[in-house]
Amino acid sequence: MTSPDLPAELKAALDAKLKGFSRNDAAERSASISKTYRDGGGSGAIRSETDALAYALARMPATYAAVTASLNALGEIRPDFAPTSLLDIGAGPGTASWAAAEAFSSLHDFTLLDANDALRKLALELVGDSFRLRSVKYQRGEARSLLVKAQAADLVIASYMIGEIGAAELDALAELMWEKTSNTLLVVEPGTPAGYARIIALRERLIAAGAHVAAPCPHDGKCPLAAPDWCHFTQRLQRSRAHKQVKGAELPYEDEKFAYVALTRAPVAARPSRVLAQPDLSKVEVTARLCTPTGLTLARISRRAKADYAIARRWRWGDAVVDGS
Ligand SMILES: C[S@@+](CC[C@H](N)C(=O)[O-])C[C@H]1O[C@@H](n2cnc3c(N)ncnc32)[C@H](O)[C@@H]1O
Residue 142 Cβ inside 6 Å of ligand 1? The answer reads: yes
Residue 43 Cβ inside 6 Å of ligand 1? The answer reads: yes
Instruction: Give me the pLDDT at residue 128, please.
Output: 95
Give the closest residue (by CA) to ligand 1 atom 15. Answer: 164
Q: What is the pLDDT of residues 55-82, one digit of tens each?
A: 998 899 999 999 999 999 999 999 999 9
Residue 323 Cβ inside 6 Å of ligand 1? The answer reads: no
Average pLDDT over residues 182-187: 98
| Max mean pLDDT range (51-55, 111-115, 246-250, 280-284) | 111-115
Q: How confident is the model at residue 27 (pLDDT cuts 50, 70, 90)?
A: confident
Number of Cβ within a 10 Å radius of residue 283: 5
More confident residue, 219 or 270: 219
User: What percent of the chain is predicted at pLDDT more than 90?
Assistant: 79
Average pLDDT over residues 199-209: 97
User: What percent of the chain is predicted at pLDDT more than 70?
Assistant: 99
Pairwise CA distance, residues 42 & 52, whole Å: 13
Mean of per-residue pLDDT scores for the chain:
93
> What is the 90 CA–ligand 1 centroid distance (Å)?
3
Given a contact cutoff of 8 angstroms between Cβ atoms, the answer to whether 214 and 233 are in contact is no
Atom of ligand 1 nearest to the CA of 67: 8
More confident residue, 295 or 323: 295
Q: How confident is the model at residue 325 (pLDDT cuts 50, 70, 90)?
A: low
Number of Cβ within a 10 Å radius of residue 75: 18
Q: What is the pLDDT of residues 277-305, one digit of tens each?
A: 999 999 899 999 999 999 999 999 999 99
Given a contact cutoff of 8 angstroms between Cβ atoms, the answer to whether 212 and 220 are in contact is yes
Pocket test for ligand 1, best of 114, 149, 189, 260 (most atoms within 8 A of CB): 114
> What is the 286 CA–ligand 1 centroid distance (Å)?
41
Give the closest residue (by CA) to ligand 1 atom 4. Answer: 92
Q: What is the pLDDT of residues 30-48, one digit of tens each?
A: 888 878 877 777 888 898 9
Beta bridge partners of 286: 281, 301
Closest CA to 26 of 246, 240, 250, 247: 246
> What is the 278 CA–ligand 1 centroid distance (Å)?
31
Pocket test for ligand 1, best of 68, 86, 161 (most atoms within 8 A of CB): 161
pTM score: 0.96
User: Exposed, middle or buried by CB within 10 Å (0-12, 13-18, 19+), for 210?
Assistant: exposed
Residues in CB range of 303: below 8 A, 6 or more apart:
283, 284, 285, 309
Average pLDDT over residues 146-150: 97
Atom of ligand 1 nearest to the CA of 157: 6
Residue 97 Cβ inside 6 Å of ligand 1? The answer reads: no
